[in-house]
Structure 1
Amino acid sequence: MLLKQCDFWAVERATAASLCRATSTRRSTCSTPSTPAGRCSRQPAAGIRQHAMQAAGIGPVVLETTIRYRRELLAGDEVTVLCAFESSGAKTFRVHQQIVRADGVLAAEVEAVGGVLDLTARTLVADPAEAMRALASDPDLLGF
């Protein structure tokens, strides 16, 4: 079931080739969608820059990623990437993404668990949503 686009969803438009880490076969089938673009584009849009995170002594970390392939993508296919963040209230958060072909067919679902790493202590910060909101000029765009 395709989730509806809501205010808390960030929508990215891309081609299948830009979402793939690798292509295979003569038809250039997209075998591994790599969707950090949808996750990472939220940070700059909210006003968070990588150098500001480093200066604050923190950095984002992906702890787990699950990809559910639903339909084939070919290199050059236009897709929409829907992305939503969900705070767990603990040291981690979830990122939910859907990759939808131009014809409206759900091609893949990606779920990731992430956190914010204290670069000095090398541990996860207690509240990643608050750490990100503190650096953002427009924290509402983060979706936490």
Structure 2
Amino acid sequence: MNGTNSANDRSTEDEHQRFARYLDELAVVRDEDEAELVTRILRDPDTTMAQSAIVRHLDRRAAQLLTDDGFTSWAHAMAEVSAERVFLPHRLHEWRAAVNHHGRAVELGGSHHGIRLVPAQGRRDPALTRRPHPARRVRKNPARPC
């Protein structure tokens, strides 16, 4: 690449290069241009990669804006541009629920069944932590214990 962002250069980039470029662009986007950039990225033919870049961006921005008065309007704008996706509005809803429930900053914690929001102090709060219900063991023969 020669430093320009022509359509020809973008078409020769693989998904890893585009992902890295998207993260770089999202890191420096001006507030007034953010919705347009998110919309453009979500049009990428590799929908999984594009959504992954946007999820990272949403998590980063939400964490920055949680205690800011602009969080609600930002979350609303991001929900509008990502409404056609299933996971992105859900992720924004999780962030809004965390703000509405506690009115304090939270950070993300991982889970193999999805994302859980954990209070910034590092202690788990059952109201914010989404846990899968354990599967019940079904006995084939009720007369014999498992």
Question: Considering the TM-score relative to the shorter chain, is it more than 0.5?
Answer: no
**TM-score under structure 1 normalisation?**
0.23
Give the TM-score, by structure 2 length. Answer: 0.23
Decide which structure has greater helix share.
2
